[in-house]
Amino acid sequence: MTEFDTRGGRMRMPRSRGAASGILLVLLGAWGALIPFIGPYIDFAFTPDQGWMWTTARGWLEVLPGAVTALGGLLLLSSGNRATAMLGGWLAVIAGAWFVVGRSLAGVLAIGDAGAPVAVTDAKRVALELAYFSGLGAVIVFLGAVALGRLSVRSVRDVAYARRPVMAEPVATATPAAEVPATDTSAARETRETREHRGWGGMFGRRHTHAH
């Protein structure tokens, strides 16, 4: 037997709903967090142009927002709950915005300086700025906003998913003990009484013959 699973129907949704945005956000978050450490090896870096060198500015301005973006993408990618997935979308939007405005606030917050782009041409300076901060953050904000827009609308597919039929668990029932019909019991009693009567009658009959 089947029944409809309606528990948490408004919050349930297919995991594929935020899968595309989630995958892209995980990749962009990993890029933003790791590029300051691997960029110097491919001549694509900000100062200090030394690979795997930790600085406070790199931690606050690049590693932290990159990790938060990846976390938001994972929530979008794996969650079948609308509220959890929307939390992932908001985390991505906030992290992307921090990529964009973080450098401007770094001096006020005293969290260090991200450095200067290591480039001899204006084109490379623009490419570094876009790939490390403003362009990366704008793309992350866009993807997070798109995910939030999709999650805020409850489509027909979501309703069908929430009301999908599920197999009901079988209920164990005790098997009733076999009942002996009343007629069989009466017949057995009559047979036993007849045998006893014959036994007593035969005994008295033998004594009567012996007396003669």
Q: How many residues does the chain have?
A: 212
pLDDT band at residue 13 using 50, 70 and 90 as cut-offs: confident
Residues 188 and 161 reside in one and the same domain? no
Same domain as 192, residue 160 = no
Question: Using alpha carbons only, how large is the chain's radius of gyration in Å?
Answer: 41
Residue carrying structure tokens 């590029």: 35
- Residue 24 belongs to some domain of the structure: yes
Whether 105 is covered by a domain: the verdict is yes
**Residue 12 pLDDT greater than 80, yes or no:** no
Residue 131: predicted pLDDT: 97
- Same structural domain, 115 and 205: no
* pLDDT per residue as tens digits for the range 80-114: 899 999 999 999 999 999 999 999 999 999 999 98
The SS3 of residue 165 is strand
Task: Specify whether 187 is located in the same domain as 127.
Answer: no
Q: What is the pLDDT of residue 176?
A: 54
Asked whether residue 176 is assigned to any structural domain, the reply reads: no
Express each pLDDT in 159-209 by its tens digit: 555 555 555 455 555 555 555 455 555 555 655 666 655 554 554 444 444
Tokens of 147: 């995910």
148 shares a domain with 196:
no
pTM for the model: 0.70
Q: Do residue 202 and residue 114 come from a single domain?
A: no
Q: Is the pLDDT of residue 64 over 80?
A: yes
* Residue 177 within any structural domain of the chain: no
Q: How far apart are CA 112 and CA 114, in angstroms?
A: 7
Number of structural domains found in the chain = 2
> Residue 90 falls within a domain, yes or no?
yes
Whole-angstrom distance, CA of residue 10 vs CA of residue 91 = 22
Q: Is residue 153 in some structural domain?
A: yes
**pLDDT surpasses 90 at 35:** yes
d(CA 91, CA 69): 6
Q: For residue 173, is it within any domain? A: no
Regarding whether 73 and 49 lie in a shared domain, the answer is yes
206 and 155 together in one domain: no
Same domain, 144 and 96: yes
pLDDT tens digits along 117-163: 999 999 999 999 999 999 999 999 999 999 999 988 865 455 555 55
Q: Looking at residue 26, what DSSP letter applies?
A: H
Same domain for 128 and 58: yes
**Pair 20, 96 in one domain:** yes
Domain that holds residue 189: 183-212
Could you count the other beta carbons within 10 Å of the beta carbon of residue 55? Answer: 17
Distance CA(96)–CA(86), nearest Å, equals 15
Shared domain for 88 and 30, answered yes or no, is: yes
